Amino acid sequence: MLVRSIRVAVTAFALVVSAVSSAQDIGKPEKDQLKLGFIKLTDMAPLAIAYEKGYFEDEGLYVTLEAQANWKVLLDGVIEGRLDGAHMLAGQPIAATIGYGTPAKIITPFSMDLNGNAITVSNQVWMEMKKNLKMGADGKPLHPISAAALKPVIEAYAAKGKPFNMAMVFPVSTHNYELRYWLAAGGVNPGFYDPPHGETLGQKGAQAFLSVTPPPQMPATLEAGTIFGYSVGEPWNQQAVFKGIGVPVITDYEIWKNNPEKVFGLTEDFAKKNPNTVLHLTRALIRAAMWLDADNDAHRPEAVKILSQPNYVGADPEVIRNSMTGTFEYEKGDKRPVPDFNVFFRYKATYPYASDAVWYLTQMRRWGQISDDKPDSWYAETAAKVYRADIYAAAAKSLIAKGLAKASDFPDFVTETGYRPPVKEFIDGMEYDGHKPNAYINGFAIGLKSGQKP
């Protein structure tokens, strides 16, 4: 079924892929002047590096990078053609394709990174949580920290008639699903979406009330007391520590080791009309990701300087440096090594695995964004439409043919199925097998099961 789906998805790229597979170079870009969007987060780094290191120009592309106000503005810009492509939440192309939110045919040929997020709570909440934590011999909390330590705090708020408000960046963001995953694993119900009945906030039956806040506004919203915690990418968790207003309690690496994060997204129509351009874009982004992780992250200090510029992330270099150079600060002074907090290329990070897309779809179903049951085959077919490994493989093969990359840097394109082996490296020990999405969904204590509606 998966092979058939991928064949259906491959349209205008067929001849281009064939040529590149034969070690011929890619043809000239059909469109060489491009405007690409991003949100001010450190995981936009491949775009910044591709620009600053000349990888876009090497591919005959003349790119303008433009920061966007929020994820909806960014997505609308791509759909409407104001942007040619963008740094996207992994859930955005998937949700658009299935018609959740603004319907559109969006694809991704490139996964931008692994990990990179965390969950932060206010100082007051943290002081209450600490009462429920075990401490190590050094007097510091043992990690990973379960949301079970937060549950009594939430219950105390509820007893006073006070809703426990938390923020995430977008309804189909990794941050939303990771926050929900962490809360549910600790026995806290984060609520359900019920679109057919007008419930689009995801708060039906909630114990913790989640809402959307743009990433750069998270620390100020926490400081104002409007929310008591949030899930976001860097540098906005470390910013809370830097400002002394909050404490990151867990990274997404601790929730799901080496979880997929952002993707580079563009419309299927753009890709059909500009297949060479998309291949050149993908090559430039692959080279940027390679540079970011090369020589045991030796280039990260330079990357920090680049990202701190106001036209990119625009945060203090010290704040960006914490996570980008392999450390992470939880409570003030509790700085710990997290060498894989930001991964851009190693562990096949840039390959668009269909099983990653399936995982996002399972969470959409778990929390009611997908209202009805779907067969396992639907998950595979949907993933194959959106996550275009054929484009990635063509770009990677051409880099290998030109001597700009080694075959060992990539999956074996002859045998790769697009599905990672089953993994149990989640905070709750649940096993995820992308071939069995319904069995996975039905295994959770909190969440919709087969046959259930929100």
Query: What are 247-267's pLDDT values in tens digits?
Result: 999 999 999 999 999 999 999
Give SS3 for 335.
strand
Same domain, 229 and 267: no
**Nearest of 143, 185, 167, 148 to residue 229 by alpha carbon:** 167
Find the mean pLDDT for residues 93-115.
Answer: 97
Same domain, 128 and 194: yes
Query: What are 345-383's pLDDT values in tens digits?
Result: 999 999 999 999 999 999 999 999 999 999 999 999 999
Query: What are 48-83's pLDDT values in tens digits?
Result: 999 999 999 999 999 999 999 999 999 999 999 999
For residue 46, is the peptide bond before it cis, meaning its omega torsion is within 30 degrees of 0?
no
Find the mean pLDDT for residues 203-215.
Answer: 97
Distance set, CA 298 to CA 48, 290, 306 (Å): 17, 11, 14
Rg (CA), the chain: 21
Same domain, 149 and 75: no
pLDDT, residue 322, reads 87
Number of other residues whose CB lies within 10 A of the CB of residue 189: 17
Under 8 Å CB-to-CB from 296, ≥6 apart: which residues? none
Q: Domain count of the chain?
A: 2
CATH number at 180 reads: 3.40.190.10
pLDDT interval class at 180 (50, 70, 90): very high
Q: Are strands 208-212 and 164-168 parallel, antiparallel or unpaired?
A: parallel
Q: Cα torsion for 346, 347, 353, 358, to the nearest 10°? A: -120
Is residue 332 situated within a structural domain?
A: no
Which position has the token pair 């960046």? 169
The mean-pLDDT minimum among 22-26, 50-54, 214-218 falls in 22-26
Same domain, 121 and 111: no
Same domain, 138 and 47: no
pLDDT, residue 9, reads 41
Is residue 425 situated within a structural domain?
A: yes
Same domain, 295 and 364: yes
Distance CA 241, CA 121 (A): 10
Distance CA 80, CA 84 (A): 9
Same domain, 56 and 196: no
Which position has the token pair 């359900």? 192
pLDDT interval class at 7 (50, 70, 90): very low
Find the mean pLDDT for residues 14-34.
Answer: 69
Centroid of chain to Cα 135? 31
HSE-CB of 73 using CA atoms within 13 angstroms: 10
Say yes or no to pLDDT of 156 above 70: yes
Range of the domain at 213: 117-255
Task: Please count the helices (runs of H) and the strands (runs of E) in the chain.
Answer: 20, 16
Find the mean pLDDT for residues 288-296.
Answer: 98
Dihedral sign from CA coordinates of 115, 218, 135, 446: negative
Question: Which DSSP helix (H) or strand (E) runs through 294?
Answer: helix 275-297
Backbone angles phi, psi at 289, to 5 degrees: -65, -40
Same domain, 177 and 310: no
Quote the tokens at residue 384: 């194959």
Is residue 453 situated within a structural domain?
A: no
Find the mean pLDDT for residues 6-25.
Answer: 47
Distance CA 350, CA 249 (A): 27
Give SS3 for 395.
helix
Same domain, 321 and 345: yes
- Angle of helix 2-9 relative to helix 389-401, nearest 10 degrees, comes to 80
pLDDT, residue 197, reads 94
Find the mean pLDDT for residues 196-204.
Answer: 95
Same domain, 94 and 171: no
Is residue 36 situated within a structural domain?
A: yes
Same domain, 285 and 213: no
pLDDT, residue 17, reads 52
Q: Which of 204, 229, 255 is the last residue of a domain?
A: 255
Q: What is the mean pLDDT of the chain?
A: 94
Query: What are 425-449's pLDDT values in tens digits?
Result: 999 999 999 999 999 999 999 999 9
Q: Which of 209, 224, 255 is the last residue of a domain?
A: 255
Say yes or no to pLDDT of 185 above 90: yes
Q: Which of 255, 288, 314 is the last residue of a domain?
A: 255
pLDDT interval class at 288 (50, 70, 90): very high
Distance CA 103, CA 77 (A): 13
Distance CA 47, CA 285 (A): 7
Distance CA 110, CA 26 (A): 17
Say yes or no to pLDDT of 1 above 60: no
pLDDT interval class at 2 (50, 70, 90): very low
Distance CA 229, CA 119 (A): 7
Find the mean pLDDT for residues 187-215.
Answer: 96
Same domain, 126 and 238: yes
